[in-house]
Amino acid sequence: MKDSVKNVAFIFGTRPEAIKVAPVIRAMQDRSDMRPIVISTGQHRDMLQSAMTEFDLKADADLDIMKPGQGLDQITARIITGLGAPLRDFGIDAVVVHGDTASTFAGALGAFYNRVPLIHLEAGLRSGHISSPFPEEANRKLVCQISDLHLAPTVVSADNLLHDGVDPDRIRVTGNTVVDAVRWAAAQPVPQHQDDPLAFLEGPDSRPIIIATVHRRESWGAPMREIAQALVDIARTHDVRIVMPLHLNPVVREAILPIVSGEDNIYPIEPLPYRQFCRLMIKAHLIVSDSSGAEEEGPSLGKPTLVLRDVTERPEAITAGAAVLIGRTRQAVRTKVSALLTDQILYDGMTRASGVYGDGQATARVLEALSDLFTGVISNAIPGVDFGAMPGRPQLAQTQPAA
- Residue 210: burial class (beta carbons within 10 Å; 0-12, 13-18, 19+): buried
163 in active site: no
User: What pTM, to 2 d.p., does this model score?
Assistant: 0.87
Q: Where are the beta strands (DSSP E) in 143-214?
A: 149-152, 171-173, 209-213
Per-residue model confidence as pLDDT tens for the chain (403 residues): 456 899 999 999 999 999 999 999 999 999 999 999 999 998 877 788 889 999 999 999 999 887 888 889 999 999 999 999 999 999 999 999 999 999 999 999 999 999 999 999 999 999 999 988 899 999 999 999 999 999 999 999 999 999 999 999 999 999 999 999 999 998 888 666 557 778 888 888 889 999 999 999 889 999 999 999 999 999 999 999 999 999 988 999 999 999 999 999 999 999 998 999 999 999 999 999 999 999 999 999 999 999 999 999 999 999 999 999 999 999 999 999 999 999 999 999 999 877 889 999 999 999 999 999 998 876 544 333 333 332 222 222 333 333 3
Superfamily of domain 6-175+361-396: Glycogen Phosphorylase B; (3.40.50.2000)
Q: What residues contact residue 32 under an 8 Å CB cut-off, 6+ apart?
A: 5
**Selected catalytic residue, list 17, 54, 122, 295:** 122
Q: What's the helix, strand, coil split of the chain in %, to 5?
A: 45, 15, 40
d(CA 388, CA 29): 22
CA distance 174 to 180: 11
Asked about 129 being catalytic, the answer comes back as no
Start and end residues for every CATH 3.40.50.2000 domain found in the chain: 6-175+361-396, 195-349
Q: What is the pLDDT at residue 57?
A: 96
Q: For residue 47, what pLDDT is reported?
A: 82
Whether 297 sits among the annotated catalytic residues: the reply is no
Alpha-carbon distance of 214 to 318, in angstroms, equals 19
In the set 26, 217, 238, 285, the catalytic residue is 217
Closest CA to 34 of 354, 362, 375, 268: 375
Helix (H) or strand (E) holding 134: none
* Closest of 263, 249, 251 to residue 222, by C-alpha: 251
Residue 9 CB neighbour total at 10 angstroms: 27
To 5 degrees, how large is the angle CA 394–CA 57–CA 353?
100
Phi, psi of 144 (to 5 degrees): -55, -35
Helix (H) or strand (E) holding 283: helix 274-283
Cα–Cα distance measured from residue 344 to residue 354, given in angstroms and rounded to the nearest whole number: 19
d(CA 108, CA 10): 10
Active site residue 217: yes
Catalytic residue among 17, 54, 93, 100: 100
Radius of gyration of the chain (CA): 22
Give yes or no: 98 in active site. no
CATH 3.40.1390.10 fits 195-349, yes or no: no
Say if residues 96 and 24 touch (Cβ distance below 8 Å).
Answer: yes
Options 15, 35, 172, 215, the catalytic residue: 215
| Whether residue 100 lies in the annotated active site | yes
Question: How far apart are the C-alpha atoms of 393 and 1, rounded to whole Å?
Answer: 10
Question: Could you tell me whether strands 34-40 and 6-12 are parallel, antiparallel, or unpaired per DSSP bridges?
Answer: parallel
Q: Helices then strands (H, E): number in the chain?
A: 15, 15
328: three-class secondary structure by DSSP: coil
pLDDT of residue 378: 67
- Out of 17, 54, 136, 316, pick the active-site residue: 136
